[in-house]
Chain A
Amino acid sequence: MRAFEYTSPTTRQQAVELLAGSWDQSAVLAGGTDLLSLMKDDVVAPKRVVNIKDIRELHGVRFGPRGMQIGALTSLGELADHPLVRQHYPAFGDAVVEAASQQIRNMATLGGNICQRPRCWYFRSGFGLTPKTPEGKSLVEEGDNRYHAILGNDGAALFVSPSSIVPAMIAYGARIRIAGPKGAREVALEKFFVIPRTESEREHDLRPNEIVTDVFLPPPAAGRYAHYEVRQKESFDWPLVLAAVALQMNGNTVRSAKVVMGYVAPVPWVSEEAAQALVGKTVTEQTAQAAGEAAVSQAKPLSRNRYKVQLARVAVKRAILQAAQGKAEGGAA
């Protein structure tokens, strides 16, 4: 790891002031489970590391009529064990419990999980977010893309969004608050992620001198929620594909639906096609299957990842069925 300046502010204001205006100048350190490995592998080399763990107000979970407010520094371990999370946002709780390992959950923060960098093996080898061959072709397309994007892959970015928790949060309608030099701003989590077009862009809408401070989960609307991961190992593994769904019901028919897929695109992928396939239908094996088909109708697999189309189709189907079979949530909160 290269030498860096270490700072440890105690307020949001100080933290934002210590952060520089460009990514290579400074980096935010929270749980460190991603930043440290990126620095050790020399993928990033910030000149200044701003440790935000001493900012007390970024810790903790509050629950009230407006929903749940989660400080960005709340660890995944705390969330996994939090009774109100399990009670009111079980699909989010499932996603948290399945993430990483106990040891990593103890260190990793929710804010860090949202801001973590892609696991793309070319990115992690130092080839950048939009890696190229010496001839200027896409290294991902020419190379081994078995874990890469099947959707949203028209541009140069072919990695997949790395969080296994964000899709469930989007399904619950999460918003995040961001602190920056001009004060705080709030953004829907779904809108926070962007597909970079060039190497100089990032995979999210955060400026180098901003930090994510809070996550808001609205009071769960009466509905049905589920999170379903397809992964090779049950112990400590990244999903190959996942789906999170929220269904608002009108009796036995779906009034509205949100279907979010993970690991299929450079951003968490919200499938309008899948949602539309469900609206006005009762949830059956057939309608769930049709929604799964709709979810991948626009998929364009690369040379090695056609199997992920099938995985995404199945993950969406199963998440919908699981949501429909699970007991209704929310409303009573």
Chain B
Amino acid sequence: MAEYKWPAPAERTLIGKRISRVDGAVKVSGHAKYSYDYNPKGLLFGKVLRCPHAHARVTSIDTSAAEKMAGIKAVQIVQKPGTEVLWQGDDIVAVAAVDEPTAEDAIRAIQVKYEVLPHNVSDAEPPAGAGEGPAGPMTEDDLENALGNQVPDAQVISDLQKRGVTFQVTDDMTKELKGYGVSDAVINALKAAAYHPEAASQPRSPYQKMAAQTQGDPDKGFASAEVTSEGVYGAPVITHCCLETHGSAAEWPSSDHLLVHCSTQGVSGLPDQYAQALKIPAGNVRAHQDHIGGGFGSKFSPDRWGIATAQLSKSAGGKPVKYMLERDSELMTAGARPSAYARVKVAAKGDGTLVAWQSDSWGTGGPAGAGSPPLPYVFEIPNQRKQHTAVRTNQGPARAWRAPNHPQAAVITMCALDDLAHKLNMDPVEFFAKNLDMTGPRAPIYKEELPLAAELMGWKQKWHPRGDKSEGPIKRGVGLSMHTWGGRGHASNCLLSIHPDGSVDIKMGSQDLGTGTRTAILIVAADSLGIPMNAITLNIGDTMYPPDGGSGGSTTIGGVSSSTRRAALMALDQLFAKVAPALKAQPADLEARDGTVRVKSEPSRSLSWKQACAKLGAMPLSVTGKNPGPGNLINSGVGGVGMADVSVDTETGIVKVNKMVAVQDCGLVINLKTAESQCYGALIMGISYALYEEKVLDPVTGRMLNPNMEFYRLAGLRDIPELMVHMMTDPLNENRGVIGLGEPPVISPGAAISNAVANAIGVRVPFLPLTPDRVLAALEQQQKAGA
């Protein structure tokens, strides 16, 4: 039996090297096929009529004129009359037509009447006392929020007993909750809760105040502090803005078999979602995807429009129907990162040791409120009091956005700490270093990373106490932030076959988000089997292959690398058993290296890979490596440091980033090149949300005002400065095994850039994005305060 571990550093031929991605050539040449590119003969084009109101009830729908139009092949009502629509752009009716203009004409011919209801798109600070007082019966959203925000069981149970619920508790619901790990005590309380159906239609306060959480003795903590800093910080709702919009093509090869080409982060997870909505067996759904143009957490579901696309195809006799969101629909409806703001009070002893934290945070994730950011972030300050208020708005539904809740938590925490460092007259690097023992298990890695990042940034030369005193309107400053993430590999199955002719193929239901997953799988397989990467055929992105986890939460690299490693080692076990007699050796004495199978102690006793595989006989050998599985191949928990160097034009408020540094740990790196690329991409994304991104909602109409790429700004080439990335690859980190990397480096840039701006201009700009109006307003406040 093989021992399941990673090869020792000296034995690695590919793992940890800088290897160009295997799909680079097809992508840059335009040969890579995305869901958007699926254009079979006879394709019908889908379009969706979207609600123009931020809050309304559908009163009637008349599709008769559209149905009579030439070229219209199917019409599907997505949300029936009576439905309450909670955001602008939500799907009402879908059509399929022979071409796009005809589909658009049909949309215009559909008559939908709405009862327009009052909307709220503001996530401004809740008025004092909002969300308090006698709360009515709990809605499903209330319950979901309580469970999602780790409100203690006792509190949830007491709420259920006291308040009752507005919804009927079904067996399916309790089963699902149990599946999410909700305790029996809570489920029993839920079953026993009084049912108040009448309350469901009562107007509700937009504010949901979560239970206050306290650790240690905050009052005593603040009393013992020598320096206290107070401030308000936050980040607005932003969108995912995937360059390939959401959508799919669907067709029915037979009346009960569905084939979808869907832009998705989770191929294997799609069939069940389609099956539930369409009432067909999940086994009859095939999902396929070769390449995806961005997801960032927003592409796990077929979505309403995807289900409608499948229904349209069915109505059109199974013909393929494609519907990809338009740019405006993408920005309006396909996901938003919740906002988070907080009033923070944080205190330290005179030497900089943190002693107490207090935060009153709020934010919106659309109609369901939002999850609260993990505060205080990274630092386990001994005495804490924190309270979060979720604001229900008609902003559109929230979705996970690369490192859900963490960038917001970093902005709130790291900016508050930076302000405290300023009050302490301390260099933030020294102040953060002083408190690293409060960072828990990641403390040792932060202790290595912080000075390294400072060196790469040239911090000592660049840092100055707050406010660049040099002449002229351009002020320069540096700032830092720290972050953490889990990143344990998800469930994965790698079906690896070695054929008697020496060819090797791998089949996995995983997907390559553009992060280099294909390349990583091939690196692990080739390094393990001792053959070149191009000797292996890799098939991913299809439900015909063994199921694999969705690519979210930085879980893919751990999942696919460990299942592939296990598959390769299992396959070698079987191959060695067949080959050993020919080499007059024991299977355990063999190794696969340099395209041969050979005796470890005497490498000249060898067979070429092809000769060795010929010993398999007539049948290929096939194994499935799994994650989780034997051996400690993966781990969880990383730390990273981000730093920014900015220039601020104090006359115009324009911020320009001069340099960004990311120092990041992710355990054993499979491909150094694509790992660094993840960090580069994250820094660029970070610059965008720090300086530009904001989902602008019109207070009057409730509509999104910038559902386009001219006023929803993303950094372009000229906005991207020098980016310096350093991966921590020392043996101590490598020995922890493989850990995910997608999320962590995107967490710190917002806070680091905000801190750099404060360092440059001498005053905090409270909220991202750091636009000229906000920067100038902060400078004006500072002037008033000084005058």
Contacts and interface: CB of A to CB of B under 8 A. Distances in A.
Interface stretch (B183-191, B430-438, B460-468, B649-657): B649-657
A146 B699 contact: no
A314 B652 contact: yes
Contact of B710 (A1, A2, A142, A238): A238
A3 interface: yes
Interface stretch (A18-26, A203-211, A226-234): A226-234
A143 interface: yes
Nearest to B473: A314
A139 B700 CA distance: 7
Interface in A105-122: 119, 121-122
Given A3-B101, A119-B710, A314-B651, A230 B772 contact: yes
Interface in A1-24: 1-3
Contact of B715 (A146, A233, A306, A307): A233
Interface string A284-318: 00000000000000000000111100110010000
A1 B703 contact: no
Name which of B652, B705, B715, B771 has the most chain A CB atoms within 10 A of its CB: B652
Given A121-B705, A307-B776, A2 B101 contact: yes
Interface string B314-341: 0000000000000010000000000000
Contacts of A306: 773
Interface in A134-154: 139, 142-144, 146-147
B104 interface: yes
Contacts of A237: 710, 713, 716
B703 to A, nearest CB: 7
Name which of B656, B696, B711, B715 has the most chain A CB atoms within 10 A of its CB: B711
A307 B101 contact: no
Given A233-B715, A240-B772, A125 B652 contact: no
B700 A133 contact: yes
A262 to B, nearest CB: 15
Name which of A133, A147, A306, A310 has the most chain B CB atoms within 10 A of its CB: A310
B212 interface: no
7 contacts: A1-B101, A2-B101, A125-B705, A139-B700, A310-B652, A310-B776, A314-B652
B653 A236 contact: no
B716 A234 contact: yes
Interface string B710-728: 1101011111000000000
Given A121-B705, A139-B700, A307 B719 contact: no
Query: Shortest 5 CB-CB distances between A and B: which pairs?
Result: A235-B716, A234-B718, A307-B773, A235-B718, A121-B705
Nearest to A147: B711
Nearest to B655: A232
A232 B654 contact: yes
Interface in A227-269: 230-238, 240
Nearest to A233: B719
A232 B773 contact: no
A234 B700 contact: no
Give the contact-size bracket for chain A: 20 to 34
Given A236-B716, A311-B772, A143 B691 contact: no
B104 A2 contact: yes
DSSP class of A's interface residues: helix, strand, loop or mixed? loop
Interface residues of B, number: 33
B777 interface: yes
B711 A121 contact: yes
Interface string A26-55: 000000000000000100000000000000
Contacts of A144: 696, 698-699, 705
Contact of B651 (A119, A234, A310): A310
Contacts of A133: 700
A33 to B, nearest CB: 12
Contacts of B545: none
Given A2-B101, A3-B101, A233-B692, A143 B698 contact: yes
Contacts of B708: 124
Given A234-B719, A307-B777, 4 more contacts: A41-B328, A143-B700, A143-B701, A144-B698
Contacts of A142: 699-700
A122 B703 CA distance: 10
Name which of A124, A231, A233, A236 has the most chain B CB atoms within 10 A of its CB: A233
Nearest to B720: A235
Contacts of B13: none
Nearest to B774: A307
A154 B653 CA distance: 27
Interface in B670-713: 691-692, 696, 698-701, 703, 705-706, 708, 710-711, 713
